[in-house]
Structure 1
Amino acid sequence: MNLHAQSAVPPEKGWRIWWRLTRPHTLTAAFVPVLLGTVLAAKHYSIHGLLFAAMLIASLLIQAATNMFNEYFDFARGLDTKHSVGIGGAIVRNGVKPGTVLGLGFAFFGTALLLGVYISANSSWWLAAIGLVCMAAGYFYTGGPYPIAYTPFGEITSGFFMGFVITQIAYFIQAGKIDSISVLASIPISILIGSIMLANNIRDLDGDRESGRKTIAILLGRKKAIQLLAAMFIVSYLFILALILFFSLSPWLLITFASIPKAVRAVKGFIGKTEPVQMMPAMKATAQTNTIFGFLLAISFLISNLIK
C-alpha cells in the first residue's frame, strides 16, 4: 500500500463495513469458474442443483476468507494505515477488531469445509484433499512466514487455484470426470483472474517495494508490468480464437470480445499514473473484464448447448 496517499475509501458504517471487508470486486474470481464449469457439464450431463449451490457458496466463502486474511495480515505487518488506498481497511479505518476479522475468516473456512464434506460425499473424497490444498493456498497467500503474495508467484497461484482448479471441480462434481474442453476453457479465465492480482500489485507497487515485497510488478517495473497486463488480456482473447479455429468450438464464443473495451480501459487507466488513488478505476476495470468475459463465455457455451 502507498502509506502517504490520501485514502480513496472513506470510513463506512453498518453493514457496508462487512460488505467491503469481503472485497466484493474479487468475488467474481470465485463465481465465474463455478458457473463456467457447470455450464460446460450441462452439455452432456444433468445438473445437480444442490451440488452447484454448495460449490458456489464454498468458493465464495473461501475467496472472502482469503480477503479477510489479507486484511488481517496487512494490518499485523503494519502495511495498512488510515491513509492507505484500497477497498480494505476495516481494521484501520472502521475500528473492526483484528481478532474479529481473523476469526470471521476462519469461520468462513469452517463453513466451506462443511460444504466440502457434502460435495465430496456426493462425488469423490479426492475432492476433500484438493479443497484443503485450495484453502491452504488462500491462507498462505498473505499468511505464514513467507506469504505467496509477497513473491512473484501471486498471479500464477491465484489464477491456477481460482481459475483452473475451481472450474475443474465444478465440472467434475456434475460429470464425474474431467474433460479436455473444461481444461481448455478454464485457461483464459485463469489468466484473467491472475490479471486482477497483477492490477492490484501495479497499484501498490511503490508501497510494496518499501515493505520488501518482490511481486512481479516490482521485478518488472511499472511500465513493463502494464505491458504484461495488456499481454494477458491479448492472450485471453487470442485463446478464444484458437478454441474456435483449432478445436471446432462454437463461434458464439466470440461474444466474449464484447468485454474488450473494459480491458482497454484497464490498461489505459494505468498508463502514466503513479499515485494509487489514480489507478483505482483501472483496477476496477480489470475485475470487470474478468466478470464480463466470464459471464459471456458461460453464456456462449450455454447458447451452443441449446442450439445443438
Structure 2
Amino acid sequence: MQPNLQHHSKPAVASNRGFQVWWQMTRPHTLTASFVPVLLGTALALKHDHFHLGLFAAMLVASILIQAATNMFNEYFDYKRGLDTEHSVGIGGTIVRDGIKPKTVINLAFGFYGIALLLGVYICANSSWWLAVVGLVCMAVGYFYTGGPFPIAYTPFGEVFSGFFMGMLIILISFFIQTGTVTSTSILVSVPSMILVGMIMLSNNIRDLDGDKENGRKTVAILLGKKKAIYLLAGMFTFSYLWVLGLIISGNAPFWTAIVILSAPKAIKATKGFIANNIPIKMAPAMVATAQTNTIFGFLLAVGIFIGHYFS
C-alpha cells in the first residue's frame, strides 16, 4: 500500500507551541493504563507487608514513560504510513496539525525509552536481573505495536498484546519487585485490568473502524463488524465485574473490592455511546469513557484491596 503523499508535505504550522502541544503528544488520557496497574500491584504487595518507596516510584515513572513513548511511536508511524492527516479524528495529530517535526517525535520517544532503561537498571539492581529481559520485551512490544514491517496494532492481536503487557504484566512486575515472588492471587486479580486495558484498544478500533478498513488493517473490530465489536466490549465490561465478584466469593479479594461497581456508569456510557453514534468524532466520548472505566475500576480495586488489608 502506497502512502498518501500529501501527508509527507510540510506540516501545518502549529498555532500553539506551548506546553499543551507537547503534553497532548503523550496522549495523557491513556497514561492511566500504566499508572493504575502499578498502583494495583503495589496494593497487593502491602498484604505481604512489603513496600519499597524507591522501587514503586521508579516503576511508576518507567511505566508512564514507556506508555508515552509507545503513543509517540504510534504518532510517528501513522504519519509515515500516511494514515494521519490534519483532518484525522483522535487525540494524536502533533505532527500533521501542530507542526512538530517527525524526527523530534521519534527522538523524544527513544529518549523516554532511555530514561526508562536507566530506571529499569535501578529496579533490577534492587530486585532481580531477570526483569531486564521482561522489561526489554515490554519495550519491544511498545515499539512494534505500530512500528516495524508487521505492526501488532494492524492485526487482530492488538487488544491481547496491549492488555497482557500494559495490564497484567505491569501489575505482576510491580508486585514482584516489592515481594520477590508472583502469587496465584496476584495473577487472578490482574485479569480484569488486562481485559479493560485491552478494551481501551478495542474502543479505539471501533471508532476508527472505517478508516482502518480502508488502510488494510485487520483489527478485531473490522473482523467482527461494529455491532458485534460493541457486544464484545459490553461483554468484557460485564465479565470484569463478575470476575471481581468471583474473587470475593473465592476469598482471593476482600469484600471491599466490590466498590468497583461504582465505575459501572462509565462502562454503560461507553457502550451506549458506541451504539448511538456512527461518526468517529461523535464516538470519541465513548472511547474516553472506556479509558475512564479502566482508570476508575483499577483505582477502586486497589483501594478495596488496601482497605481490606488494614480493616479486615
TM-score of the superposed pair, with normalisation by structure 2: 0.94
- Residue 45 of structure 1: CA displacement? 2.5
* Aligned partner (choices 249, 255, 258) of residue 254 of structure 1: 258
2:183 aligned with 1:179: yes
Q: Deviations over 1:86-108 (max 9, x none)?
A: 00000000000000000000000
- Residue 246 of structure 1: CA displacement? 2.0
- Residue 249 of structure 1: CA displacement? 2.6
Aligned to 2:277: 273
Task: Say if 1:33 and 1:166, in contact at 8 Å, map to a contact too.
Answer: yes
2:216 aligned with 1:212: yes
- Residue 13 of structure 1: CA displacement? 3.9
Structure 1 CA distance for aligned equivalents of residues 282 and 21 of structure 2: 23
SS at match of 2:234: helix
1:1-308 alignment, distance < 5 Å: 12-308=16-312
Structure 2 CA distance for aligned equivalents of residues 150 and 307 of structure 1: 46
Task: Say if 1:140 and 1:148, in contact at 8 Å, map to a contact too.
Answer: yes
Overall identity of the aligned pairs, in %: 66
Does 207-216 or 247-256 show the bigger shift?
247-256
Structure 2 CA distance for aligned equivalents of residues 48 and 250 of structure 1: 23
- Residue 12 of structure 1: CA displacement? 4.8
Structure 1 residues 12 and 201: CA distance shift in structure 2, 3 A: farther
- Residue 247 of structure 1: CA displacement? 3.1
Read off the aligned partner of 2:71 and give its amino acid letter. Answer: N
Task: Say if 2:266 and 2:293, in contact at 8 Å, map to a contact too.
Answer: yes
Read off the aligned partner of 1:207 and give its amino acid letter. Answer: G
Equivalent residues, number: 300
Q: Deviations over 1:244-264 (max 9, x none)?
A: 112353111110000000000
Read off the aligned partner of 1:240 and give its amino acid letter. Answer: V
Instruction: Please give the root-mean-square deviation of Cα atoms over the aligned residues, in Å.
Output: 1.2
**After the TM superposition, which parts of structure 1 deviate over 6 Å for at least 4 consecutive aligned residues?**
none
Structure 1 CA distance for aligned equivalents of residues 237 and 17 of structure 2: 36
Read off the aligned partner of 2:99 and give its amino acid letter. Answer: G
Read off the aligned partner of 1:77 and give its amino acid letter. Answer: R
Structure 1 CA distance for aligned equivalents of residues 215 and 199 of structure 2: 22
Read off the aligned partner of 2:156 and give its amino acid letter. Answer: P
Read off the aligned partner of 2:193 and give its amino acid letter. Answer: I
Structure 2 CA distance for aligned equivalents of residues 227 and 289 of structure 1: 16
Task: Say if 2:185 and 2:252, in contact at 8 Å, map to a contact too.
Answer: no
Q: Deviations over 1:93-149 (max 9, x none)?
A: 000000000000000001000100000010000000000000000000000000000
Structure 1 CA distance for aligned equivalents of residues 64 and 102 of structure 2: 21
Gaps of 5+ in 2: 5-13
Read off the aligned partner of 1:206 and give its amino acid letter. Answer: D
- Residue 222 of structure 1: CA displacement? 0.4
